[in-house]
């Protein structure tokens, strides 16, 4: 019986994974809600990630500035073919973080010509990132960092929620199974007691009782 309970728990996990494989979980490519501002010769990170969290190390990632190919990642490595010469040697991804769905682009030694609207494409979905090159407002930069931190926290909450749901499902099934076994055991005990105990009005003494024979012997009339 308990094997069936664990089987049901694993079935829940399998259904969840199957729903992902079938595309029932809608993935989105998310960029920053506000433009990114940096100064010339600075290094900048154009934030972009997949939500909910997904390993994209085997996917193709493309970054474009209008029609210019800024960067391409394919077959688990950089693909410099057709990359615009202005961006060669200045672009990279955070490869170790791609398992978490991070496809942010690091652009080094930026110039005014790098300003514009960038497109991040992965899983056939796109996100827009606007880069402004000029004087940086420190307050605006801190706000962007806070938003990135909030997004990462949201990913962790999503994963933890799924894990808790699965654990709760398994524990609930085990608890229900134990309650069912306890009720069946109690019912069998009551049925056994009802068969052993004598019914109302029946002779409590079994036949052939020593007490009855003793009483019969005392009532016999002695010979004269």
**What's the average pLDDT block by block, 10 residues per block, for the chain (224 residues)?**
53 53 75 95 97 96 97 95 96 97 98 97 96 76 54 60 80 81 73 59 50 48 47
**Global pTM exceeds 0.95:** no
pLDDT at 123: 93
> Which DSSP string do the residues of the chain spell out, in sequence order?
-HHHHHHHHHHHHHHHHHHHHTT-S--EEE--SS-EEE-TT--EEE--EEES----TTS-EEEEETTEEEEEEETTEE--TT--GGGTTSEEE-GGGGGGTB--EEE-S--GGG-EEEEEEETTEEEEEEEEES---HHHHHHHHHHHHHHHHHHHHHHHHHHHHHHHHHHHHHHHHHHHHHHHHHHHHHHHHHHHSPPTTS-SSPTT-HHHHHHHHHTSPPP-
Extents of the domains making up the chain: 28-162
* CATH annotation of 28-162: 2.60.40.10
């Amino acid at each position: 019986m308990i094997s069936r309970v664990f089987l049901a728990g694993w079935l829940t996990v399998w259904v969840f994974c199957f729903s992902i494989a079938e595309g029932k979980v809608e993935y989105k490519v998310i960029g920053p809600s506000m433009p990114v501002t940096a100064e010339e010769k600075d290094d900048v990170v154009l934030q972009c990630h997949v939500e909910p969290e997904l390993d994209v190390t085997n996917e193709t990632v493309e970054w474009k500035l209008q029609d210019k190919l800024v960067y391409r990642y394919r077959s688990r490595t950089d693909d410099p073919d057709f990359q615009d010469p202005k961006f060669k040697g200045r672009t990279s991804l955070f490869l170790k973080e791609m398992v978490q769905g991070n496809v942010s682009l690091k652009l080094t030694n930026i110039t005014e010509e790098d300003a514009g609207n960038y497109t991040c494409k992965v899983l056939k979905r796109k996100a827009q990132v606007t880069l402004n090159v000029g004087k940086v407002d420190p307050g605006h930069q801190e706000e962007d960092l806070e938003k990135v931190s909030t997004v990462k926290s949201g990913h962790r909450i999503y994963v933890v929620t799924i894990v808790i749901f699965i654990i709760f499902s398994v524990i609930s099934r085990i608890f229900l199974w134990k309650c069912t076994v306890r009720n069946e055991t109690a019912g069998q005990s009551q049925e056994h007691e009802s068969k052993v105990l004598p019914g109302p009005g029946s002779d409590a003494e079994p036949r052939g009782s020593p007490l009855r024979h003793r009483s019969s012997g005392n009532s016999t009339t002695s010979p004269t």
